[in-house]
Amino acid sequence: MPGRTVGGLGEAGILRILNRRFAALPAAGDWPEGTVGPGDDAAVVAAPDGRFVISTDAMAQDRDFRLDWPAVSCGASRAGAGDHAHGFTGGYSIGWKAAAQNLSDMNAMGADATGLLLALTMPHATGVSWTDGLAAGIAGAVRHLGARRCRVVGGDLGSDDRITLAITATGDLGGRPAVRRTMTPEVPASDPVDLVLCGRAGWAAAGLAVLDTSRDELLDRLRRADPGVRRLAALAAAAQLRPRPVLGAGRRAADAGALAMMDVSDGVAKDAGRLALVNGRRVELDPDWVRSDAGVLEPLARALGRDAHDWVAAGGEDYGLLAVLPAGARPPHGFRRVGRLAPGGVPDGGGEGRGAEAAVGPAEGPRKGPGQDPDQGGWDHFARGD
Amino acid sequence: MPGRTVGGLGEAGILRILNRRFAALPAAGDWPEGTVGPGDDAAVVAAPDGRFVISTDAMAQDRDFRLDWPAVSCGASRAGAGDHAHGFTGGYSIGWKAAAQNLSDMNAMGADATGLLLALTMPHATGVSWTDGLAAGIAGAVRHLGARRCRVVGGDLGSDDRITLAITATGDLGGRPAVRRTMTPEVPASDPVDLVLCGRAGWAAAGLAVLDTSRDELLDRLRRADPGVRRLAALAAAAQLRPRPVLGAGRRAADAGALAMMDVSDGVAKDAGRLALVNGRRVELDPDWVRSDAGVLEPLARALGRDAHDWVAAGGEDYGLLAVLPAGARPPHGFRRVGRLAPGGVPDGGGEGRGAEAAVGPAEGPRKGPGQDPDQGGWDHFARGD
């Protein structure tokens, strides 16, 4: 259907395009007695353990994603995030990433995702094939990342000059306690604890650097680099466009006795700083870990004139899992030690950043302890006054 | 804090502004054992009956709301939707309306709202007072509409050139079955059923007509009209800016044996058409009802050169409740009979528009039966190809 746009299809026509993709998910047909599937004023979803996990994330065109990245031309399309025919810069990658970052939030609590809701606004001139790709990307992430219990349970359509997506995810803890950002059980303030990471760090940031380079400059820089660098560039672009949160690792860490956990959306340094702050400690990242992870990306960083250490320590959007373990505990399968939370931070006071005091968004205390700056590196939409 | 903008506050600073309002809600401090409040990667919310109700709605600046309406100047600020000091065209009304339309979706299933999630994008130049007003409006709707169990459980912040809000609502059915759009139990296809409405119809559309008229023209038209018309204009503007879904009526209708139900977001004619379509019937709106409700708005319609019958039959955004009862059944308290669903529609076939076939958005079958057009009047974001 090349060239066709959604304008004039009516909401019903667009829903048919989206629903064809979502109905193909393994869990799509599974609506137990007493629940209500999509198509009503609201859905009714099972919450077998008497609770549900929920979070929401919004993405806007030109801020959180772009429609004009030259990824395909630099080889990213061969990097293989799934068995589909969609180009990397079409709707597929945007749908994938939006779903992935929401599934990651469920993972970070130790929960299995059970549902996604999609609030989508787009211009009338949006292509039918782009819209179909978006839905395929959402379904693709659910399927390929292994969220077997996850269905699309509802949504909302609107028209706007630009594309925005807000996805809400729900999850089920299967009777387990949630793993929070604050340590449970508490650990004496004088005891250090280990910081372990599952998943890659710095790859999405490297990918952003690749995608932000003009095609001509990129080809020129890659031509002058080692042969392996081109492949590295494609993998990094794929990591940015189709991040792969390590679903299941959250539950594994919970079973292994993780004291606290969060996913890495804003970079290890910043997110570890958040963990430190709410737990009254300071971060000590292991320089050997940074060096070791940066080593893999080093040839690409050199080719682009960038710093791989920065990517690893401060780069966001890889959606790895950062967990806190008792000092010396053996990391669960797939996790590696990246540092520790040491005594000496300014206690958060238990107020700001969680509980009744904080109703929206991630915990982020107002004060910064000596020797730490959780806002160092990483991304804050409103940190600058411009 | 007049003139201050959110740029440079950082997300933590903005969260403090929002959370101060949300923390004042009656239910804000009530997080039972095993649940997790805001400030983590996700919230964990109680679902006492082993299920939860969920829906999402997005609103975009200049499409779903405007920042430049002259409502205050035409007297709407005295129409009184709550005990607050915010102007009608500030963030307060936008927050109110976004919350109200989501609370209405819970009402339409017969559920009590338990949670709201707010995904908010805005420019750096957005005023701090506007942002505070938005949060106050969300909290104000929750409080004044009587959603006593409802808390703000999470959200997401992003920067963008324009303001967009996506709100997700969750609800609890307290062990009752949800009242769906499809009749339960089924009624023989040859039996007509009654259509009853709770809440106003046409007022929000009348308000839109008021707000869309330039200030000078409006003052001129109102000056030449009866004295009561100015008051009517203010009430209509208030109905558009701060709709008041009749929370609790959904549960009342469920207890009274409503067979099917939905809220009226796109106008009685269109939404009744949707009910008819998914139930294989056609709509017969009672002309006496339309005349009677239009009578109240008639003086305003005359002053503006508009048709009050159109407002009542086709105007959306009043968030009344449309319920289906067995023919001749006495309407529950607050409901009035507005017509019936008569035999003779084209059956929906049970596929398109609900169940596994439809994952996003309201039920809306692909075919239109003879004598009915569910798209007549009301609003479809993608009905036109422009």
Asked if pLDDT for residue B59 goes beyond 50, the answer is: yes
Contact B4, B128 (CB under 8 A): yes
How far is the C-alpha of A123 from the C-alpha of A100, rounded, in Å?
Answer: 24
B108 touches chain A (CB under 8 A): yes
pLDDT in the model for residue A280: 93
Which residues does chain A have within 8 Å of residue B364's beta carbon, measured at their own beta carbons? Answer: 11-12, 15
Range A193-357 has CATH code 3.30.1330.40: no
pLDDT in the model for residue A74: 39
ipTM: 0.86
Query: For the segment B84-125, what is each residue's pLDDT rounded down to a tens digit?
Result: 333 455 899 999 999 999 999 999 999 999 999 999 999 999
As beta bridge partners, residue A326 has A193
Query: For the segment B306-357, what is each residue's pLDDT rounded down to a tens digit?
Result: 999 999 999 999 999 999 999 999 999 999 999 999 998 754 443 333 332 2
Which residues does chain B have within 8 Å of residue A111's beta carbon, measured at their own beta carbons? Answer: 42
How far does Cα A217 stand from its chain's mean position? 29
From the list B35, B153, B353, which residue is nearest A39 (CB)?
B353
How far is the C-alpha of A67 from the C-alpha of A337, rounded, in Å?
Answer: 37
As beta bridge partners, residue A158 has A121
Q: Is A68 exposed, middle or buried (0-12, 13-18, 19+ CB in 10 A)?
A: exposed
Which residues does chain B have within 8 Å of residue A383's beta carbon, measured at their own beta carbons? Answer: 8, 10-11
Contact A380, B11 (CB under 8 A): yes
B184 touches chain A (CB under 8 A): no
Chain A window 219-248: which residues touch B at a Cβ cutoff of 8 Å? none
| Sheet order of strands, A112-122 included | A151-159, A112-122, A164-172, A51-60, B43-46
Closest of A363, A62, A126, A294 to residue B162, by C-alpha: A62
pLDDT in the model for residue B70: 52
How far does Cα B287 stand from its chain's mean position? 24
Which residues does chain A have within 8 Å of residue B381's beta carbon, measured at their own beta carbons? Answer: 11, 157-159
Which residues does chain A have within 8 Å of residue B261's beta carbon, measured at their own beta carbons? Answer: 41
Contact A131, A122 (CB under 8 A): yes
Closest of B173, B377, B341 to residue B268, by C-alpha: B377
Test mutation, A360, A375, A380, chain B, max B CBs within 10 A:
A360
Test mutation, A5, A6, A40, chain B, max B CBs within 10 A:
A40
In tens digits, chain A (386 residues) has pLDDT values of: 458 999 989 998 999 999 999 999 999 988 999 999 998 999 999 999 999 999 999 988 887 887 776 544 334 433 333 333 344 558 999 999 999 999 999 999 999 999 999 999 999 999 999 999 999 999 999 999 999 999 999 999 998 888 999 999 999 999 999 999 999 999 998 999 999 999 999 999 999 999 999 989 999 999 998 889 999 999 999 999 999 999 999 999 999 999 999 999 999 999 999 999 999 999 999 999 999 999 999 999 999 999 999 999 999 999 999 999 999 999 999 999 999 999 987 544 433 333 322 345 433 333 333 333 344 445 577 875 44
How far is the C-alpha of B163 from the C-alpha of A162, rounded, in Å?
Answer: 12
Closest of B45, B136, B48 to residue B88, by C-alpha: B136
**CB atoms closer than 10 angstroms to residue B334:** 16
Sorting pLDDT into bands at 50, 70 and 90, what band is B379?
Answer: low
Rounded to 5°, the CA angle B330-B332-B334 comes to 125
Mean pLDDT of chain B: 86
B119 touches chain A (CB under 8 A): yes
Identity (one letter) of the amino acid at A120? L
Query: For the segment B158-201, what is each residue's pLDDT rounded down to a tens digit?
Result: 988 889 999 999 999 999 999 999 999 999 989 999 999 999 99
The encoded tokens of residue A213 equal: 């380079």
Q: Is B188 exposed, middle or buried (0-12, 13-18, 19+ CB in 10 A)?
A: exposed
Phi-psi region of A313 (alpha: psi -120 to 50; beta: other; left: phi over 0): alpha
How far is the C-alpha of A243 from the C-alpha of A88, rounded, in Å?
Answer: 12
Which residues does chain A have within 8 Å of residue B12's beta carbon, measured at their own beta carbons? Answer: 364-366
Please give the CATH architecture assigned to the domain spanning B10-172.
Answer: 2-Layer Sandwich (3.30)
How far is the C-alpha of A166 from the C-alpha of A160, rounded, in Å?
Answer: 14
Residues with Cβ < 8 Å from A312, sequence gap 6 or more?
A: A201, A202, A268, A290, A293, A294, A297
Closest of B224, B187, B189 to residue B329, by C-alpha: B187
pLDDT in the model for residue A361: 43
The encoded tokens of residue B263 equal: 């809220």
Return the axis-axis angle of helices A91-108 and A227-241, rounded to nearest 10°: 70
B1 touches chain A (CB under 8 A): no
| Sheet order of strands, B335-343 included | B260-264, B320-326, B193-198, B335-343, B281-285
Which helix (DSSP H) or strand (DSSP E) does residue B218 occupy? helix B215-223
How far is the C-alpha of B247 from the C-alpha of B145, rounded, in Å?
Answer: 7
How far is the C-alpha of B148 from the C-alpha of B27, rounded, in Å?
Answer: 7
- The backbone torsions φ and ψ at residue B69, rounded to the nearest 5 degrees and listed phi first, read -75, 145
Q: How many CA atoms lie within 13 A of A143 on its CB side?
A: 18
Asked if pLDDT for residue B363 goes beyond 50, the answer is: no
From the list A34, A52, A159, which residue is nearest B381 (CB)?
A159
- Using the CB atoms, write b or e for A196-208: b if 16+ within 10 Å: bbbbbbbbbbbbb
Contact A40 B15 (CB under 8 A): no
pLDDT in the model for residue B369: 31
How far does Cα B227 stand from its chain's mean position? 30
pLDDT in the model for residue B2: 53
Sorting pLDDT into bands at 50, 70 and 90, what band is B55?
Answer: very high
Q: Is the peptide bond before B185 cis (omega within 30 degrees of 0)?
A: yes
Q: Mean per-residue pLDDT for B49-71? A: 84
Sorting pLDDT into bands at 50, 70 and 90, what band is B154?
Answer: very high
- The backbone torsions φ and ψ at residue A108, rounded to the nearest 5 degrees and listed phi first, read -70, -20
**CB atoms closer than 10 angstroms to residue B33:** 6
Asked if pLDDT for residue B358 goes beyond 60, the answer is: no
Q: Where are the domains of chain B?
A: 10-172, 193-357
pLDDT in the model for residue A234: 94
SS (H, E, C) chain A: CCCCECCCCHHHHHHHHHHHHHCCCCCCCCCCCCCECCCCCCEEEECCCCEEEEEEEEEEECCCECCCCCCHHHCHHHCCCCCCCCCCCCHHHHHHHHHHHHHHHHHHCCCEEEEEEEEEEECCCCEHHHHHHHHHHHHHHHHHCCCCCCEEEEEEEEECCCCEEEEEEEEECCCCCCCCCCCCCCCCCCCCEEEEEECCCCHHHHHHHHHCCCHHHHHHHHHCCCHHHHHHHHHHHHHHHCCCCCCCHHHHHHHCCCCEEEEECCCHHHHHHHHHHHCCEEEEECHHHHHHHHHHHHHHHHHHCCCHHHHHHHCCCCCEEEEEEECCCCCCCCEEEEEEEEECCCCCCCCCCCHHHCCCCCCCCCCCCCCCCCCCCCCCCCCCCC
How far is the C-alpha of A120 from the C-alpha of A138, rounded, in Å?
Answer: 12
Domains A10-172 and A193-357 share a fold: no
As beta bridge partners, residue A187 has none
As beta bridge partners, residue B119 has B156, B166
